[in-house]
């Protein structure tokens, strides 16, 4: 099997994951419980590809659906969580359970009225905010009650908004009460939102905001997991588009593990926004140029 065939299979798998999330959300809107055991083969295929290639991570970084950001968010969270867990050498069964939990972590949102989901965050009343914060508990109940085999996955889903210092929700659980998988998912859930656009902003969050997330290590997030995320996905993952302080726009083509804030960039657009002949710039060796912020793919403008 050549690289092109493998790429097509991985593209199909990513679409299968998207469709799986969509179908399960539809089912839960009209039913009290949901069976997600059939997600295991999808997660096992994902693990297989991720063991042999970074293509699934690249896909997760590059893809988001502005029409249904929650669906692509769920798939990307599953992939990023697996990347970190694999780096931490979790057992295969734990990988499958974490991948399934990542894929379904926001499934409880299907039980939240559309009038609440469609509002911007600042428009929500205090009561609506409280109700929305029950989505992890709603997802837990829908999965846990279906099959005792899914208990571990339900627990991980329940914890994905909890924080080490007890500042999370819905229970305000603290470090010793959280599972390792729950800690991974809680960090990745935030990271995925940071690196992809939301309707209240055009560009991706600048470097200082990503650093703010990493600086919460030891308080909100587990330091070992933060370090693993930093080393595995980095502040600026490969294939993310960035704007330099010079105004030029390029794509990250190679991570610098010794200096994550200064990767190698393929410069594609001039400071005037004109397409130029690509050239590689190693920011670790540049005295004057640095990344100003991440941006959406220029073609999307």
Segment 167-215, tens digit of pLDDT: 999 999 999 999 999 999 999 999 888 877 555 444 445 455 666 777 7
**What stretches of 88-205 show up as alpha helix (H) in DSSP?**
92-104, 114-117, 126-132, 135-144, 151-158, 180-195
Residue 128 CB partners (closer than 8 Å, separation 6+): 116, 119
Greater pLDDT, 114 or 180: 180
Q: How far apart are CA 204 and CA 198, in angstroms?
A: 8
Q: Is 226 in the same domain as 246? A: no
What number of other Cβ atoms are within 10 A of residue 172's Cβ?
12
Verify that 88 and 136 share a domain, yes or no. Answer: yes
* Sequence-separated (6 or more) residues with CB below 8 Å from residue 176: none
* Residue that terminates a domain, selected from 209, 232, 255: 232
**DSSP annotation string for 212-239:** HHHHTBTTTB-HHHHHHHHHHT-SS-TT
DSSP state of 240: -
Contact 272, 221 (CB under 8 A): no
Q: Are residues 220 and 270 in the same domain?
A: no
Whether residues 118 and 267 share a domain: the answer is: no
pLDDT given for residue 104 in this prediction: 98
296, pLDDT greater than 50: yes
Query: pLDDT digits over 239-263, tens only?
Result: 778 899 999 999 999 888 777 778 9
182 φ, ψ (degrees, to nearest 5):
-65, -35
Determine how β-strand 249-254 pairs with β-strand 291-295: unpaired
In eight-state DSSP terms, residue 287 is S
What digits encode the pLDDT tens for the residues 12-66?
999 999 999 999 999 999 999 999 999 999 999 999 999 988 888 888 887 777 7
In the chain, the N- to C-terminal Cα span, in Å, equals 36
Give the pLDDT score at 96.
98
Are residues 70 and 98 located together in one domain of the fold?
Answer: yes
Tell me how far apart the alpha carbons of residues 218 and 210 are, in angstroms, rounded to a whole number: 16
Give yes or no for a contact between 158 and 136, defined as CB atoms under 8 angstroms apart: yes
Provide the domain limits for residue 25: 3-232
SS3 9: helix
Question: Do residues 210 and 276 share a domain?
Answer: no
Residue 209 confidence (pLDDT): 62
Segment 212-238 mean pLDDT: 82
> What total number of domains does the chain contain?
2
Measured in whole angstroms, the distance separating CA 120 from the mean position of its chain's CA atoms is: 21
Domain boundary among 232, 261, 282: 232
Q: Are residues 204 and 296 in the same domain?
A: no
Q: What is the CATH number of the domain that holds 134?
A: 1.10.3210.10
What mean pLDDT is predicted for residues 59-88? 89
């Amino acid at each position: 099997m050549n690289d092109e065939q493998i790429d097509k299979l991985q593209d199909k798998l990513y679409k299968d994951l998207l469709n799986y999330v969509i179908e399960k959300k539809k089912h839960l809107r009209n039913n009290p419980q949901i069976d997600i055991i059939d997600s295991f083969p999808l997660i096992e295929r994902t693990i297989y590809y991720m063991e042999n290639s970074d293509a699934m991570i690249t896909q997760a970084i590059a893809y988001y659906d502005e029409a249904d950001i929650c669906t692509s968010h769920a798939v990307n969270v599953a992939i990023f969580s697996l990347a970190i867990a694999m780096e931490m050498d979790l057992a295969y069964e734990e990988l499958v359970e974490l991948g399934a939990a990542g894929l379904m972590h926001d499934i409880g949102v299907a039980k939240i009225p559309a009038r609440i989901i469609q509002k911007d965050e600042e428009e929500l009343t205090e009561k609506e905010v409280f109700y929305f914060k029950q989505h992890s508990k709603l997802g837990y109940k829908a999965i846990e009650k279906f099959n005792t085999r899914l208990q571990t996955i339900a627990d991980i889903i329940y914890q994905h908004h909890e924080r080490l210092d007890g500042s999370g929700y819905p229970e305000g659980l603290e470090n010793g009460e959280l599972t390792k998988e729950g800690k991974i998912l809680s960090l990745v859930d935030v990271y995925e939102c940071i690196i992809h656009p939301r309707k209240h902003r055009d560009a991706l969050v600048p470097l200082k905001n990503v650093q703010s997330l990493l600086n919460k290590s030891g308080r909100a997030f587990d330091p070992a997991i933060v370090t693993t995320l930093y080393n595995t996905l980095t502040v600026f993952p490969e294939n993310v588009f960035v704007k330099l302080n010079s105004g030029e726009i390029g794509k990250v083509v190679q991570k610098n593990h010794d200096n994550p804030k200064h990767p190698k960039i393929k410069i594609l657009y001039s400071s005037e926004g004109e397409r130029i002949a690509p050239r590689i710039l190693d920011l670790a060796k540049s005295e004057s140029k640095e990344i100003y912020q991440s941006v959406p793919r220029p073609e999307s403008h």
